[in-house]
A and B are shown apart, each in its own frame.
Chain A
């Protein structure tokens, strides 16, 4: 599985867009980019994933660069409840999956 690199921490003002970057320069052609978040004391929660096209759901948007070496998770209007650790991982969809997490980005939403 490709290694991902994220900044250890970020701040965002409440109501503003939170843009969380992730580098995955060794991602293979059929590996997806997945994003999860973990709110304190809970298990991680899936947010979104994509292969090469940009994706949007009710929680967030995922922008993947054309060369697929990096991506950005966008929370369009951050709230205090979005304060969490966000994990970006590269992995396969379906079948054999060895899902490994890094340290993630601690996002602090500030009132």
Chain B
């Protein structure tokens, strides 16, 4: 079975902390994505990567960075977490259709 695994289901961090959200896929997919989901706003694309070390900004990249050193792993980095980054974060990978992880609910206090 296809699998996209996010490292944490729930996370609580303090304002100003550097936060790493990790995502691993086992399908050898080229494309990987990070989204955030907030009530009433749907899924919004933060960053995506179409190959190792390749990345492209999505619709809301401000305050985030990413890293893709290996094909199977795509990390989302909040350099200095702020309360407005409290959200559900979803990782996905794709070749044709996209497969999603279960999400990380991040609370920044």
Q: Which of A34, A43, A98, A104 contacts B101 (CB 8 A)?
A: A43
Given the known interface contacts A36-B98, A43-B92, A45-B100, the answer about A102 and B45 at a Cβ–Cβ threshold of 8 Å is no
Are B33 and A99 interface neighbours, CB within 8 A?
Answer: yes
> Chain A 38-52, CB within 8 Å of chain B: the 1/0 string?
000111111001000
Contact, CB under 8 Å: B42 / A103: yes
The secondary structure that dominates the B interface is strand
Find out whether the CB atom of A94 lies under 8 angstroms from the CB atom of B95: yes
Complexed CA–CA distance, A49 and B98 (Å)? 11
For the complex of A and B, 5 pairs with smallest distance between CB atoms: A43-B100, A103-B42, A101-B43, A46-B97, A93-B96
Q: Are B45 and A100 touching (Cβ within 8 A)?
A: yes
Residues of A within 8 A of B (CB): 34, 36, 41-46, 49, 87, 93-104
Interface centre among B4, B43, B90, B103 (most CB of A within 10 A): B43
Q: How far is the CB of A43 from chain B (nearest CB, A)?
A: 3
Q: Which residues of B contact A (CB under 8 A)?
A: 4, 30-31, 33, 35, 40-45, 48, 50, 56, 58-59, 90, 92, 94-103
Q: Answer whether A99 and B56 are a contact pair too, CB < 8 Å, given A43-B90, A44-B43.
A: no
Provide the main secondary structure of the chain A interface.
loop
Selected from A96, A101, A103, A104, the residue in CB contact (under 8 A) with B31 is A96
